[in-house]
Structure 1
Amino acid sequence: MTRLSSQTLGRLPASIRRPAYDRAALQPGIVHLGLGAFARAHLCEYTDDALERDFGAWGIVGASLQRPDQRDRLKPQDGLYCFLKRAPEGPQLRIIGSVLDVLVAPEDPAALVTRLAAAETRIVSLTVTEKGYCHDPATGRLKDDHPDILHDLEHPDAPRSAIGLIVAALRIRKREGLAPFTALSCDNLPHNGMVLHGLVRDFAALRDDALSQWIEANGAFPATMVDRIVPATTEADIAEVAGLLGLKDAAPVIGEPFRQWAIEDAFALGRPKWEDVGAQMVSEVAPFEFMKLRMLNGAHSSLAYLGYLAGHETVAQASGDPILARFLQGLWGEIIPAVPAPQGVDLKAYAGDLLSRFQNPAIKHRTWQIAMDGSQKLPQRLLGTIRDRLKAGASIDHLALGVAAWMAYVAGTDEAGAPIDVRDPLATEFARISAAAGRDAGALSQGLIGIEAIFGADLPHQATFTQAVARHLESLFAKGAKATAEAVSA
């Protein structure tokens, strides 16, 4: 089958959207480190939209920090690829044209540093995942003994970490009298701009105090909050896209129609007009992070545990169950009063959008996958809200059921008596407590709430909380997830 490329764009069906600007005239202005599926379904689409509204030198040069796969897929296609949005009413397709080139750091790190240091590079954005920051997530500080950091200190002209690449390029820009580019983290890290700023500054200080001070005085590191569900592309997806396009696309991306991007408006050398195409340029991103954590992530986890126990394999199936959908509405009713509304956001409308997203049958998010690592997720997703509600003397019935459902899940047996594959750093401790407690809800809840790393020193002594959790857990064991959720939402 003929490959998608600039030369074959004209063969596409007329119904498929393609770039409505002159790609031949597009010049690079953004270098993106970590050009994975999420970046191509989020940053690249927003930029493609902005170029159609207000054309400028904002083309994207992607950089792969580990493997050449992305370059090898996109280069023969002139950077073009299809974005397939899976909507309940059917697939939506468009061709994204904002990516001009892809570099591979391990093959030629100097070439990537040169591109980063070039005067025309005004934004360096990142989606390198949390581990790509070479930092301690608990403190946000640089791990100066990280193998990649040690390598980059010893080989400053051939860095392999994102932090090392950024600092190497900023060093050249300082030497040549150029202003620093804006470094824009698009990773799902709390306070990502502040974290990136500190890591770049600290790494620079290990090499050159003057460089670190220059970055501190002149650098720009806006915070962002990104949101879109982008499942991994499968061979079946590639075949489906080929059938719809009539052309072979080796690099399609799959995502939901919903997208959100809140960006701190603090750029050193300009930016695309992303606000004209739906991004929210704000003075502070933290409220958006907080909203997402409590409303989206808190609901996701609660639904995952109840849904799994009730026999639902995916979030769409679980949230499409009328009983569990009513539970979500009640849960958000408890969460919303504990969430300050971010600038320009209606929290009830946001909850409605979340339910629609959860119920999208075309996006298959497994409840088991979301249920992983609950010991790491519960403190931020649910327990913070519970503490706030307890201080206010407000109801925590739905929130407590979310915690009880987690307990029933980590006890290791589903409602049909089948074993649950519990994936969690504390899985061994859960199994020990569960074996001792058996199906005694009081003993099990007391044992699990006693894990201070999860529940702290305060919640085990909050009778309103402990009694509500034990009551719900007893009901889950006796009546099951759906009956318990129906009773709490009655």
Structure 2
Amino acid sequence: MTPPAILHIGPGAFHRAHQAVYAADLIEAGHPEARIREMCLFPPRIAEALDAQSGAYHVLFRDGVNEELQRITSICEVLDEPDEDFLSDPALRLVTMTLTEKGYCHIPGTRRLDPMAIAADLNDPLHPRTGIGWLALGLVRRQEAGLPGLTLASCDNIPANGRLLEAVLSEFVSQAWPVLSDWLAKNVTFPVSMVDRIVPRVDEEAARAIAQVAGATDMLGVAAEPFGQWVLENDFALPIPPLEKVGVQIVADVRPYEVMKHRILNGAQTALAHLGALSGFETSYQAASDPVMGHWLARFCAAQAKTLTCPLGENLDAYVRTTLERLRNPHIRHPLVQIGTDSSFKLGQRIVEAAVCHLDGPEAELYALTIAAWMQYNTGRTVNGAPIPVSDPLAERFRQIDLHADGDTEALVAGFLELDLFEGDLRRHQSFRERLVTLCAALERQSPRDLMMAAELSTTGLER
């Protein structure tokens, strides 16, 4: 049997509904080398479940209209207990990974290694506990075996993920394995990738739906939306399986695609998280499907699109329409409080950078309401004073801003605008600041949806 050319670290639900599906399609197209060997660094371990199901599981793709079940057999082996030679197979060409942002052991907002997060691996690099430590040890053993380099492709939803991976791994190697540094720089590549598919948690309803269509309980089954995209930078240490044959976009520069997704899809999700929660909605589907919120959201996404350079092969108007359809998928019900988690990391790139392009234009009110709702949300209370569970690295800073303001809306806005994410033109723009003060004051009495209704969704701005 043809040995697998792909190894993936972290075979969670997203991977099983995304990269593993592309690999399955490529195998079906006549490329058996696209099979995947999986490595589990942390629970849940999936080897036993996969063996019990004869190496197969199902993905149920569904939206409000269609439903399709796909049987996936692209995972050929699972290493529940990794060993230091996991990168030493001569057939291996491509390593992908979904480590989550914390798995990169970096100082948030930078590409620098966090010495506290990686301390155990620095002290004992022969017995790693992190993905970064395991990659370094695996590459040391690959170098010692006289094998060629590899392509290490992050598939996490992080801006310029390949650049982050390269930076933290290189820094770790320079301290823990300095003998590897030169070989790493010359033989290993770190392409940036952009991946997109909404894969909600498999709840009881989804599990029943998968079992009903598949004809049996599936311990590894996942439900996902039909939409999928994978854009991968053309930077490979060795030839990889021809993923472009099954729709993977191999491009010279991923950034335009990445910015498009972050601005339109992720920007819409972040906006909905705070506007929707303050308006009494619990999920993204509820908020996006509401006529008032939905009309507002369409205008917001169109404004976001105006700030972009259209990537090659894309159509921004079509992408906006598809985004709105995806957010109205009745099977994608992300809790808004979950989407609102760690929003101080997300707001700058997704919304503030775009807002700067509209400070003096007719769309300024859209951004003012979005940012004012974010501020109100992070005071930890709704319009009627009900508590909001703020989960953010800056939660204590938010609390201090609110306490210091002591009910003074101007002081509250001024405190939030001093955060680093607002540094630049937006912070200095007097009329936009005044809009924020007016809207934050209004949000003490009315929900964002109330304000949208009062404005009759006009393009002239919200009534004050």
1:86-485 equivalence runs, <5 A:
86-105=62-81, 109-110=82-83, 113-144=84-115, 146-153=118-125, 155=126, 158-390=127-359, 395-434=363-402, 441-449=409-417, 451-456=418-423, 459-485=426-452
- From 50, 73, 85, the equivalent of 2:49 is 73
Q: Distance in 1 between matches of 2:276 and 2:257?
A: 27
Name whichever of 137-146 and 221-230 sits farther off. Answer: 137-146
Q: Distance in 1 between matches of 2:44 and 2:269?
A: 34
Structure 1 90/349 Cα, relative in aligned 2: closer, same or farther at 3 Å? Answer: closer
Q: Distance in 2 between matches of 1:95 and 1:443?
A: 57
Q: Distance in 1 between matches of 2:167 and 2:415?
A: 39
AA of the residue aligned to 2:367: L
Please give the secondary structure, in 2, of the residue aligned with 1:93: strand
Q: Distance in 2 between matches of 1:340 and 1:31?
A: 34
AA of the residue aligned to 1:86: R
Per-residue deviation at 1:232? 2.0
Structure 1 194/452 Cα, relative in aligned 2: closer, same or farther at 3 Å? Answer: closer
1:15-46 alpha-carbon deviations (Å, 9 max, x no partner): xxxxxxxxxx4531111111111111111001
Question: Is the 8 Å Cα contact of residues 185 and 193 (structure 1) preserved in structure 2?
Answer: yes
Structure 1 309/271 Cα, relative in aligned 2: closer, same or farther at 3 Å? Answer: same
Q: Distance in 1 between matches of 2:231 and 2:164?
A: 17
Please give the secondary structure, in 2, of the residue aligned with 1:199: helix
Per-residue deviation at 1:101? 0.9
Structure 1 138/375 Cα, relative in aligned 2: closer, same or farther at 3 Å? Answer: closer
1:279-327 alpha-carbon deviations (Å, 9 max, x no partner): 2111011222222222222221212222112211111111111111111
1:234-263 alpha-carbon deviations (Å, 9 max, x no partner): 344334322322223211112111111110
The number of equivalent residue pairs is 456
Question: Is the 8 Å Cα contact of residues 83 and 94 (structure 1) preserved in structure 2?
Answer: yes
Structure 1 235/454 Cα, relative in aligned 2: closer, same or farther at 3 Å? Answer: same
Name whichever of 312-321 and 471-480 sits farther off. Answer: 471-480
Question: Is the 8 Å Cα contact of residues 54 and 273 (structure 1) preserved in structure 2?
Answer: no
AA of the residue aligned to 1:37: A
Question: Is the 8 Å Cα contact of residues 263 and 280 (structure 1) preserved in structure 2?
Answer: yes
Structure 1 446/166 Cα, relative in aligned 2: closer, same or farther at 3 Å? Answer: closer
Q: Distance in 2 between matches of 1:297 and 1:276?
A: 27
Please give the secondary structure, in 2, of the residue aligned with 1:485: helix
AA of the residue aligned to 2:290: D
Structure 1 135/483 Cα, relative in aligned 2: closer, same or farther at 3 Å? Answer: closer
Question: Is the 8 Å Cα contact of residues 302 and 320 (structure 2) preserved in structure 1?
Answer: no
Name whichever of 172-181 and 280-289 sits farther off. Answer: 172-181
Q: Distance in 1 between matches of 2:123 and 2:399?
A: 41
Q: Distance in 1 between matches of 2:327 and 2:113?
A: 36
Please give the secondary structure, in 2, of the residue aligned with 1:293: helix
Question: Is the 8 Å Cα contact of residues 282 and 343 (structure 1) preserved in structure 2?
Answer: no
Match of 2:15 in 1: 39
Q: Distance in 1 between matches of 2:290 and 2:321?
A: 16
Q: Distance in 2 between matches of 1:200 and 1:424?
A: 26
Match of 1:18 in 2: none
- CA RMSD for the aligned pairs? 2.5
Question: Is the 8 Å Cα contact of residues 29 and 57 (structure 1) preserved in structure 2?
Answer: yes
Q: Distance in 1 between matches of 2:194 and 2:441?
A: 38
AA of the residue aligned to 1:78: S
Question: Is the 8 Å Cα contact of residues 334 and 399 (structure 1) preserved in structure 2?
Answer: no
Per-residue deviation at 1:163? 2.4
Question: Is the 8 Å Cα contact of residues 327 and 488 (structure 1) preserved in structure 2?
Answer: no
TM-score (norm. length: structure 2): 0.90
Match of 2:38 in 1: 62
AA of the residue aligned to 1:452: L
Match of 1:29 in 2: 5
Q: Distance in 1 between matches of 2:351 and 2:443?
A: 19
Structure 1 315/286 Cα, relative in aligned 2: closer, same or farther at 3 Å? Answer: same
Q: Distance in 2 between matches of 1:114 and 1:230?
A: 32
Match of 2:462 in 1: none
Q: Distance in 2 between matches of 1:142 and 1:468?
A: 39
Structure 1 431/68 Cα, relative in aligned 2: closer, same or farther at 3 Å? Answer: closer
Name whichever of 357-366 and 196-205 sits farther off. Answer: 196-205
Per-residue deviation at 1:167? 2.7
Structure 1 478/488 Cα, relative in aligned 2: closer, same or farther at 3 Å? Answer: farther
AA of the residue aligned to 2:99: V
Please give the secondary structure, in 2, of the residue aligned with 1:184: strand
TM-score (norm. length: structure 1): 0.86
AA of the residue aligned to 2:112: R
Percent identity over the alignment? 37
Q: Distance in 2 between matches of 1:439 and 1:139?
A: 34
Please give the secondary structure, in 1, of the residue aligned with 2:38: strand
1:103-123 alpha-carbon deviations (Å, 9 max, x no partner): 023xxx43xx33421101111
Gaps of 5+ in 2: 459-464
